[in-house]
Structure 1
Amino acid sequence: MAVFRSGVLVLTSPLSALSRQIVPILTSASRIVEDTLYVHLQPGLCLSGPAQPKPTYIPATKEVYNLVTKLYSSANTCSHLDVRVLLTNIRNRSKSPQSPCSVQNLSHPPEVVLTDFHTSDGGQYNPVKQRLERYATSCYSCRPNLMSVLLYPDYEVADESEISEDPSASQALESYSDAVVGGTFDGLHNAHKILLSASCLLTESRLLIGLSDGDLLESKTLKELIQPYKQRMDKLCQFLVDVKPSLQYEVVPLFDPFGPSITDPALMCIVVSEETWKGGNAVNKKRLENQLLELAVHEIQLVKDPQHTDIEEEKISSSSIRIRLLGTILQPPKKNPHIPSHPYVIGLTGGSGSGKTSIAKRLEKLGAALIDSDKLGHETYSPGGPAYQQVIEEFGSGIVNEDGTINRKVLGSRVFADKEQLKRLTDIVWPAIVTLAKKQMAEAAAQDKAVCVMDAAVLLEAGWEEMVHEVWTAIIPDQEAVTRIMNRDGVSEDAARKRLVNQLSNSERVAKSNVVLCTVWEPEITQQQVQKAWNLLQERIKQSKL
């Protein structure tokens, strides 16, 4: 069967039956759609009659809410799929759904339409398939040459007599003209989608979304890997307009825990997660202080992540997703025709205390040729080295020891407090290091080494990324770096912090990196990251040769 990038799944079974069928249905759909899958609840939709099928409308009830939650929770088993449950035909108590005559413009127009509709009809020109395709093109902005697939043979139909009825299932959800929800929304995972979908079901007119930024991101795990504000906002808006285009959305940057939730008099409800309900209470306290009405607080339960590791959260979370990015390609390498294809050169960098050196040694054990730029720097200074005489001529004989070697401490005291002096030194030394590094790369090629790692703290400052195929960066939180520097070098906290200030920040390094690693956890975790990065690298090298 062909595989399509995007599709829409029209579910016609009763809602009570769908609850038991979700996992097999999504599993079947995941074999056909590889990117975006829209799911539309259309219980009772008939595709076998002579008349053109018409959309069905359902009330926003507890049953619908629970089913949408289960759909997103179950979608975690199909990690490659971006599942989006369309809410266009769900009526809350005071708001009509999208006009049945309008065609919904989806951000990823479906290439295939799937359904769980059960029919005994068969044959190549199955009339159900034809009606399904006509129905889909009348409802959604589909791709030309839309294909259709009936999923019912791929899973067992639930016996409705075995389905237990929940007396409270038909209870209508409370709805509000204006509601507010906040969060980082990094990566827009399925737990975010549950939170946002609940907000849409509860909102009649306007949904205000506070998108965390600035200082609110400082305490986040791997904050350097959080997507930029605009990227998060664009993905958020795209999702919301896809699932409920009839609502008015207002996205605002959030620089403190409250934002407009404590000043907007039109708001009636705040949607919070199980772990942030205290924040909802704090908002109401502030609103009372501002002489505004309290908000109804609607709490969403956390969704457990069955795939979480020991260093990840038990719930589905953005921090866990960022942890899983470590060792993977964050942005594709730039092709530079001036760099020899063999060996494949990795430029490894990182700030002081980042664990860069330990990563370099692990890569060497895996088979990479290691170029230590710090050692090469020492070599350029040594008597007879390529920079030895020029450095003495530039900075005077006062930097020379009695044995003829350059006193690096004396030289350092002169240049590191003076940017102009430092540049004079690096203009001499860095080109010499490049010459020695290229020589070692040539030696690695002669030894038929497939991978060469250039360990260089100043890789980006020196512009050496132009001589490597990929840039890998080791990062750790600043406070952890300060602690390591103090313990390693016996310096004060103030001295350690000044050292970090004089370097590129983690964010600046990450912005120019293809792969990021983090050594803040136990050595075994670092080893796992390096092994993962190494394995993926081997795949890229193999693909580049095809």
Structure 2
Amino acid sequence: MSMFSTGILVLTSPLHVLPFRIAPVLTSAAQVVERTLYIHLHPGLNLGTGGQVRPAYIPPVVDLCALISRLYSNAADICGHLDVRVLLSNVRTQSAALNGNNGPFATPQTLSHSPEVLLTDFPIQDSGQSSLVTQCLQKYAGHCYVCKPSLSSVLLNPRIAEFEEDRRDAQLKPLETFSDVVVGGTFDRLHGAHKTLLNISCLMANRRFVIGVCDQELLKNKVLKELIEPYDQRVQKLQDFLNDIKPSLKYEIVPLSDPFGPSISDPELQCIVVSEETRKGGEAVNRKRVENGLAELVLYEIQLLKDAHRADIEEEKISSSSLRTRLLGTLLKPPSPQPHLPLDPYVIGLTGGSGSGKSSIAHRLEALGAVRIDCDQLGHEAYLPGTSAYHKIVQEFGPDILKEDKSINRRVLGGKVFGNQERLKALTDIVWPEIALLVKKRIDQAKEQGKRVCVVDAAVLLEAGWTYLVHEVWVATIPEEEAVKRIVQRDGVKEEDALRRLKSQWPNAKLIEHANVVLCTLWEPDVTQRQVLKAWTLLQQRIQKRQETTRSSL
């Protein structure tokens, strides 16, 4: 079956039947669409009439909330690679529908991604009906959305039992809606749980939707906070998503530097949508509103979505922290081209702050077959008598730094540069280039031995500017408070001394800005091992692809 980048799935099954059809329909749709799947809900739509089928308003009912939640939950389980978006432009209250002059789509809505294929769950009675249904589907979709001219259609007929429509005449319970609705969250790496929250909020809002996005202080205790997308990027993704699902709403996206934001001061807000996890936060909002002389907000609670793919260190619910955890060991961004470096060996530059577990990762990579180049050890070699660096250091800092055996007393030398940035730079300007030469020598030796991968274990890889020696930069990271504990336990120093040492190094966020791959040793050793193995396996694939590309270009 041909694959299309973007598609619209028009769901026509009755609301009480749809929950049973979602999983097989999504499975079929995922075989046709590879990037973005829009879902248009029109229960009861008859595409088999052969006449003009035009869009119409459908009322917001309680069942729709459960359906939206189930759609995103199933999508996460079945086709997590797809950006699924449930469209709500044709869902309106009766009063809103009466105010509209030309129905829900006066003009076709332009979506962020122009659809290339139409899909539907409409049941086909016989093969002769397919052409008729396809024509009706295309006309219907053309009234609703701006689609690509060469639009294809696929009729999905999942092999599941038909359900008796014994609720055909049942009265569906209307959903209470509000003029102005508010939610808050981090909204990092927009996922199914976020989309459920946003979709249901849009379903309930008739005029304005206020979204508070956590920033600054509210991020500091998040798991792997350095991997959280920048605020502007998160806001842009929110805007793209919201403008697709219900463009008629007025959206206000504001930064949150405290847990409340505008929810405790905006008198026009009527409802706050919360989850089981954030209900207490919603109750705190209402206490603050009462203190401020404002009416309490209606609290509408949605269920958390279970994560069917969770690992042992991840949360049971679908969450951004779990998604960030899954990024560990993967290629976050492609490495910069290094045309001056030979194909073999492929060189990894591994860095990280004190206590990050960098060296333990280097040893794990060595066990997998990499040649480990220890820059701490090479640093000691650079200070040995007779080396170029040795003579320059003695000349720069004086003979009083020497021991009786003429070796450099590193403690005395350290005292001369400690707290003096100018003198420290004078030392590193001597030592770092010499260490770089030793690294290059070790890499050349590995090449002569036919080794495929080297890992340069270097705490100052980035500060020293040694990235020209490596194909990729890998960063080992650990939260600062955990790093302090490890340094205190390992080196027997006081907490303030450990913290001072960390403050003198590049912070995790700055290191990760330069990283192609990030690893974290926060959890048990076997978790680190799985990360390293994943990183190693993906690295082998990149190396193989690189070699194939090079051979094909010859």
Kindly indicate whether the alpha-carbon contact (under 8 Å) linking 1:9 and 1:40 is maintained by their aligned counterparts in 2.
yes
> Does structure 1 residue 130 correspond to structure 2 residue 135?
yes
- 5 Å matches for 1:503-518? 503-518=505-520
Using the alignment, how far apart are the partners of 1:125 and 1:268 within structure 2? 47
Aligned twin of 2:268: 266
Using the alignment, how far apart are the partners of 1:449 and 1:164 within structure 2? 69
Amino acid at match of 1:504: W
Q: CA deviation at 1:155?
A: 2.6
Q: CA deviation at 1:157?
A: 4.5
Aligned twin of 1:70: 70
Q: CA deviation at 1:333?
A: 1.0
Using the alignment, how far apart are the partners of 2:403 and 2:293 within structure 1? 75
Amino acid at match of 1:328: T
- Decide whether aligned partners of structure 1 residues 171 and 292 sit closer, same or farther in structure 2, where only a CA change above 3 A counts: same
- 5 Å matches for 1:68-467? 68-77=68-77, 78-92=79-93, 94-96=95-97, 99-122=104-127, 126-152=131-157, 154-160=158-164, 170-467=172-469
Kindly indicate whether the alpha-carbon contact (under 8 Å) linking 2:371 and 2:451 is maintained by their aligned counterparts in 1.
yes
RMSD: 1.7
Q: CA deviation at 1:416?
A: 2.8
- Decide whether aligned partners of structure 1 residues 164 and 451 sit closer, same or farther in structure 2, where only a CA change above 3 A counts: farther
Using the alignment, how far apart are the partners of 2:396 and 2:226 within structure 1? 39
Amino acid at match of 1:204: N
Using the alignment, how far apart are the partners of 1:246 and 1:397 within structure 2? 78
Kindly indicate whether the alpha-carbon contact (under 8 Å) linking 2:57 and 2:104 is maintained by their aligned counterparts in 1.
no
Which deviations, in whole Å up to 9, do the C-alpha atoms of 1:206-228 show, x marking residues without a partner?
00000000000011000010000
Using the alignment, how far apart are the partners of 1:368 and 1:94 within structure 2? 68
Structure 1 unpaired stretches of 5+? none
Amino acid at match of 1:280: G
Kindly indicate whether the alpha-carbon contact (under 8 Å) linking 1:360 and 1:370 is maintained by their aligned counterparts in 2.
yes
Q: CA deviation at 1:505?
A: 0.5
3-state DSSP of counterpart to 1:174: coil
3-state DSSP of counterpart to 1:79: coil
Aligned twin of 1:470: 472
Using the alignment, how far apart are the partners of 1:392 and 1:9 within structure 2? 74
Kindly indicate whether the alpha-carbon contact (under 8 Å) linking 2:50 and 2:136 is maintained by their aligned counterparts in 1.
no
Using the alignment, how far apart are the partners of 1:5 and 1:301 within structure 2? 31
- Decide whether aligned partners of structure 1 residues 403 and 294 sit closer, same or farther in structure 2, where only a CA change above 3 A counts: same
Amino acid at match of 1:290: N
- Decide whether aligned partners of structure 1 residues 411 and 165 sit closer, same or farther in structure 2, where only a CA change above 3 A counts: farther
Q: CA deviation at 1:123?
A: 6.8
Kindly indicate whether the alpha-carbon contact (under 8 Å) linking 2:50 and 2:132 is maintained by their aligned counterparts in 1.
no
- Decide whether aligned partners of structure 1 residues 511 and 50 sit closer, same or farther in structure 2, where only a CA change above 3 A counts: same
Kindly indicate whether the alpha-carbon contact (under 8 Å) linking 1:92 and 1:202 is maintained by their aligned counterparts in 2.
no
- Decide whether aligned partners of structure 1 residues 52 and 121 sit closer, same or farther in structure 2, where only a CA change above 3 A counts: farther
Using the alignment, how far apart are the partners of 2:289 and 2:257 within structure 1? 18
3-state DSSP of counterpart to 1:90: coil
Using the alignment, how far apart are the partners of 1:248 and 1:256 within structure 2? 23
3-state DSSP of counterpart to 1:483: helix
- Decide whether aligned partners of structure 1 residues 39 and 380 sit closer, same or farther in structure 2, where only a CA change above 3 A counts: same
Q: CA deviation at 1:300?
A: 1.2
Q: CA deviation at 1:94?
A: 4.3
Using the alignment, how far apart are the partners of 1:400 and 1:93 within structure 2? 89
Using the alignment, how far apart are the partners of 1:259 and 1:111 within structure 2? 40
Amino acid at match of 2:266: D
3-state DSSP of counterpart to 1:126: helix
Using the alignment, how far apart are the partners of 2:379 and 2:350 within structure 1? 16
Q: CA deviation at 1:361?
A: 0.2
Amino acid at match of 1:104: Q
Using the alignment, how far apart are the partners of 2:202 and 2:129 within structure 1? 40
Kindly indicate whether the alpha-carbon contact (under 8 Å) linking 1:5 and 1:34 is maintained by their aligned counterparts in 2.
yes
Using the alignment, how far apart are the partners of 1:254 and 1:347 within structure 2? 37
Structure 2 unpaired stretches of 5+? 549-554
Kindly indicate whether the alpha-carbon contact (under 8 Å) linking 2:378 and 2:438 is maintained by their aligned counterparts in 1.
yes
Q: CA deviation at 1:166?
A: 12
Amino acid at match of 1:400: L
Amino acid at match of 2:418: F
3-state DSSP of counterpart to 1:160: coil
3-state DSSP of counterpart to 1:75: helix
Amino acid at match of 2:329: G
Kindly indicate whether the alpha-carbon contact (under 8 Å) linking 1:21 and 1:158 is maintained by their aligned counterparts in 2.
no
Q: CA deviation at 1:134?
A: 3.1
- 5 Å matches for 1:483-498? 483-498=485-500
Amino acid at match of 2:70: K
Using the alignment, how far apart are the partners of 2:463 and 2:95 within structure 1? 59
Amino acid at match of 1:82: D
Using the alignment, how far apart are the partners of 2:43 and 2:72 within structure 1? 18
Using the alignment, how far apart are the partners of 1:170 and 1:413 within structure 2? 79
Q: Which range is displaced more, 74-83 or 180-189?
A: 74-83
Q: CA deviation at 1:11?
A: 0.9
Amino acid at match of 1:146: L
Using the alignment, how far apart are the partners of 2:168 and 2:48 within structure 1? 28
Kindly indicate whether the alpha-carbon contact (under 8 Å) linking 2:224 and 2:321 is maintained by their aligned counterparts in 1.
yes
Which deviations, in whole Å up to 9, do the C-alpha atoms of 1:438-493 show, x marking residues without a partner?
11111111111111111110111111122211110000000000011111111111
Q: CA deviation at 1:544?
A: 1.1
Q: How many residue pairs end up in the alignment?
A: 543
Using the alignment, how far apart are the partners of 1:407 and 1:155 within structure 2? 79
- 5 Å matches for 1:19-34? 19-34=19-34
Kindly indicate whether the alpha-carbon contact (under 8 Å) linking 2:56 and 2:104 is maintained by their aligned counterparts in 1.
no
Using the alignment, how far apart are the partners of 1:23 and 1:106 within structure 2? 25
Using the alignment, how far apart are the partners of 1:456 and 1:505 within structure 2? 15
Q: Structure 1 vs Structure 2: percent identity of aligned residues?
A: 58
Kindly indicate whether the alpha-carbon contact (under 8 Å) linking 2:50 and 2:133 is maintained by their aligned counterparts in 1.
no
Kindly indicate whether the alpha-carbon contact (under 8 Å) linking 2:329 and 2:517 is maintained by their aligned counterparts in 1.
yes
Aligned twin of 1:537: 539
3-state DSSP of counterpart to 1:329: coil
Kindly indicate whether the alpha-carbon contact (under 8 Å) linking 1:45 and 1:56 is maintained by their aligned counterparts in 2.
no
Using the alignment, how far apart are the partners of 1:435 and 1:79 within structure 2? 46
Which deviations, in whole Å up to 9, do the C-alpha atoms of 1:102-135 show, x marking residues without a partner?
2111111111111111224537982322332233
Amino acid at match of 1:114: L
Using the alignment, how far apart are the partners of 1:245 and 1:155 within structure 2? 35
Aligned twin of 2:551: none
Kindly indicate whether the alpha-carbon contact (under 8 Å) linking 2:115 and 2:148 is maintained by their aligned counterparts in 1.
yes
Using the alignment, how far apart are the partners of 2:392 and 2:105 within structure 1? 80
Using the alignment, how far apart are the partners of 2:54 and 2:88 within structure 1? 16
3-state DSSP of counterpart to 1:16: coil
Using the alignment, how far apart are the partners of 1:56 and 1:543 within structure 2? 51
